Structure 1
Amino acid sequence: MVLDLVVIGTAITLGPLHNSAFILLLSANRGLLKGLVFVLTWLAELVVVVAGVLALTGGDPPSRHSSPSTTALAIKLAVGVALVVYGEHRRRRKVTRSRGTPKWLAQLDRVSAWTAAGLAILLQPWAMVAAGGATVLQADLSSTASFVALTGYFLLATASLLAMELYATFAPTKAHAELGRLRTAIDEHQDQAIVILSLLLGLWLVAESTYELVT
């Protein structure tokens, strides 16, 4: 479970679209507040999904090859296949450079804090979050290691947003310039990043869940 959560959390935090949008939010009027709302909403979504899964299991992981365990693996396999198909579709388009920031993202300097919360919901990579939720089915709440693993998952999946929010808080002038350059780099390589993340995570989920299903 721990390794799966590390892989999934890393893929979530590296997603280019939400990171680019977050940088634009930070550069807006009252950007720190809007960024904080985005981060808290993003984190709350992860917590709600995990809490929902733990409520179903009662914190007691189902036995191997039981119906719930098999269903969770099937979900991870389906997500993995979907990510591979999506990543391969993007790859075959042979996009060598980004088409630039979408118009709706370029208008984030005028959004409200409530809209920032809505964006966190919209931009959350829900397929990856679903894979994380299926993995959490194995969590044992009687084990300290499970609490540490879940806390690490939450922090890792939010790490890029937290880092940028803190950077903009404590070094606003430097952060404005550095994050602006980072957003440009993200926009220029957005398609490539999506392809790599989708294929790598998809192949990992397919291989790991297939192995668990057949052994």
Structure 2
Amino acid sequence: MVLELLLIGVGITLDPLPIMAFVLLLSSRRGVWKGLVFILAWLACLVTVIALVLLFTGGTPPPPRSPPSTGALAAKLAIGLGLVAYGVHRRRRARTPHEESSAAGSASRDASPEAEVSKMDRMSVWSAAGLAVFLQPWGVVAAGATVVVRADLSHLASYLALFGFCILATSTLLAAELYTVLAPKAAGERLKRLRAWLEAHEEPAIIIGCLVLGLWLTGNSIYQLTS
């Protein structure tokens, strides 16, 4: 369970879309406070999913081969296949360099970084919380839920694993927030460069992430279902 939560937590924290939005949020007026609310809402989503799963299981993992155990593995298999299919779909729809260049030029005219920061300036802290819920990679979080089914709350290790999963899945956001608080000037420039790099590599990062995590979830689920 620990290894599975570790990999899923890495998949969540490295999702480029929430990171890019969070960097913009930090660059806006009252960005530190909005970033804090974003992180709290992000964590609340993870904790709520975990709490609902544990409420369903009672904190005791279902016996192997039981309907709940088999159902959780089947759900994890379906999510893995879905991630693979999504990655393949995005790969097939990848545009040619000419189309990407034209689209990028149009996007830069229609939605410049300054215009995006201006929108974030007008955003309230409650909207920042809603943005965190909207940008949560729910497919990957659902995969984490199928693993949490096996958590045994009679052991301290399970509490530590669940706590570690929540922190790991939020680690990139926490690092950016702390960096902005401790070194605001340096953070502003470096986070801008990070956002530019993510924008340039967003598509391949999403494709590779979906394929790697999806293939691993699929293989792991098939192994557990057949062993």
TM-score using structure 1 length:
0.96
Deviations 1:41-82 (A, max 9, x none): 000100000010001111110011110001111111111111
Is contact 1:80-1:201 (8 Å) kept?
yes
Mapped to 2, the partners of 1:186 and 1:109 lie a distance apart of 22
The answer to whether the aligner puts 1:119 opposite 2:131 as a matched pair is yes
Q: Who is 1:10 aligned against?
A: 10
The answer to whether the aligner puts 1:56 opposite 2:56 as a matched pair is yes
Is contact 1:21-1:108 (8 Å) kept?
no
Q: Who is 1:151 aligned against?
A: 163
CA apart distance, 1:92: 1.6
**Paired residue secondary structure (1:189):** helix
Counterpart mapping for 1:5-154 below 5 A: 5-95=5-95, 99=104, 103=111, 106=116, 107-154=119-166
Q: Who is 2:198 aligned against?
A: 186
CA apart distance, 1:94: 3.0
The amino acid of 1:152's aligned partner reads G
TM-score using structure 2 length:
0.91
CA apart distance, 1:184: 0.3
Is contact 1:24-1:109 (8 Å) kept?
no
Deviations 1:131-158 (A, max 9, x none): 1011000000011110111011000000
Mapped to 2, the partners of 1:214 and 1:120 lie a distance apart of 37
1:168 maps to which of 165, 174, 180: 180
Greater per-residue helix proportion: 2
**Paired residue secondary structure (2:151):** coil
Mapped to 2, the partners of 1:69 and 1:49 lie a distance apart of 17
Of the two, which has the highest radius of gyration? Answer: 2
Unaligned runs of 5+ in 1: none
The answer to whether the aligner puts 1:204 opposite 2:206 as a matched pair is no
